[in-house]
Amino acid sequence: MKLVLFDCDGTLVDSQHVIVAAMTRAFARADLVLPPREAVLGIVGLSLVEAMRRLGEDDPRFPAERLAELYREAFRELRAEQDFFEPLFPGVRGVIDKLAARDDVVLGIATGKSQRGVAMVLGHHGLDGFFSTIQTADDAPSKPHPAMVLQAMAATGAEPEDTVLIGDTSFDMVMARAAGARAIGVTWGYHTTELLRQSGAERLVSDADELMRAIDEVWEAVP
């Protein structure tokens, strides 16, 4: 049995606008200057407190935990607004449908989102029940620690060589390789192609059609 794990933000859904908006509100409420947009998107995928620590350049005086709470508060507010939307990237729904129809594949998610956040995304896009294992920041240490992938493999009975993680950040690639899994980087997300390659991506894909081919190719290739 093959296990295909997806990251969420930047891989399945384009969350950049709402993430930046929530960060803007959080930093404003803490009377702090928001880092550049590139820096904010660069920490997408990490758990919230770890993300805030990195934005604060690991300064022990930086209020990472307070900012994480302010971000959660802002995100809840934005979710309640009418124009809140985290769209699926083009072609992603078709990839999920094709993989879900295969007898030799189970699907999972490994994300820095909370379980509640993932449930909201899946429910909005009619994807409830497609994923056999959902590993989140609620359940494991922050990426790039391999725990999410290890837990997903344990939950589904998949072997490392039969597991592939699909993500858009260096954190995803490092996490997958640390767990002994395969790693595919998508270039439509928040980290650069070069960073994905340097972090261990076996394949880099730029659209959904390439992704379907790459999934089979990494299993056919000798590790």
pLDDT in tens, 189-220: 999 999 999 999 999 999 999 999 999 888 77
Q: Which residues contact 41 (CB under 8 A, 6 or more apart)?
A: 16, 19, 20, 190
Average pLDDT over residues 75-101: 90
Give the pLDDT confidence score for residue 216 in this predicted structure.
87
Tokens of residue 156, six digits: 């589904």
Please state, in angstroms and rounded to a whole number, the distance separating the CA atoms of residues 55 and 85: 25
Distance, CA of 194 to CA of 34 (rounded, Å): 26
Structure tokens given for 35: 């880092």
Q: What is the pLDDT of residue 36?
A: 95
Burial of 79 per CB tally in 10 Å (0-12, 13-18, 19+): middle
Q: What is the pLDDT of residue 162?
A: 95
pTM (2 d.p.): 0.92
> Does the pLDDT of residue 126 top 90, yes or no?
yes
DSSP state string for 8-21? SBTTTB--HHHHHH
The architecture that CATH gives domain 2-14+86-220 is 3-Layer(aba) Sandwich (3.40)
What does the domain layout of the chain look like in residue ranges? Answer: 2-14+86-220, 16-80
pLDDT of 80 reads: 85
Q: Of these residues, 9, 162, 168, 172, which one is catalytic?
A: 9
Residue 128: active-site member: no
pLDDT of residue 220: 78
Q: Which of 6, 195, 216, 223 minimizes the C-alpha distance to 110? A: 6
- Looking at residue 219, what is its pLDDT? 78
Using the predicted structure, report yes or no on whether residue 84 has a pLDDT greater than 80. no
Report pLDDT digits (tens) over 28-80: 999 999 999 999 999 999 999 999 999 999 899 999 999 999 999 999 898 88
Radius of gyration of the chain (CA): 17
Residue in 68, 70, 73 with CA at minimum distance from that of residue 54: 68
CA distance 38 to 42: 6
Q: How confident is the model at residue 82 (pLDDT cuts 50, 70, 90)?
A: low
The overall longest dimension of the chain from CA atoms, in Å, is 53
How do residues 136-179 score in pLDDT, each as one tens digit?
A: 989 899 999 999 999 999 999 999 999 999 999 999 999 999 99
What residue type is 33 in one-letter code? V
